[in-house]
Amino acid sequence: MLRSIIIGLLTVISIPTSAPAQNCEAESVAVQILGSGGPRIDRFRVSTSYLLWVSDQARVLVDMGGGALGRFGQAQAKLTDLSLVAVSHLHPDHISDLPAFLWLSHEVRKEPLAIVGPSGNDAAPDFSTFLSRLFDEKSGAFPVLGATLGGKRRDIPSGPLSAGGGVRLDVGVVAER
Structural contact between residues 22 and 30, judged by C-beta atoms closer than 8 angstroms? yes
Q: What residue ranges define each of the domains in the chain, with the CATH number in brackets?
A: 28-174 (3.60.15.10)
| CA dihedral sign, ordered 137, 140, 145, 150 | negative
pLDDT tens over the chain, length 177 residues: 434 444 443 343 344 444 455 555 667 899 999 999 988 888 889 999 999 999 999 999 999 999 999 999 999 999 999 999 999 999 999 999 999 998 888 778 888 899 999 998 888 999 999 999 998 888 899 888 887 777 654 444 333 333 344 578 889 898 765
**What span, in angstroms and rounded, lies between the C-alpha atoms of 43 and 26?**
35
**CA–CA distance, 128 with 109 (Å, rounded to integer):** 21
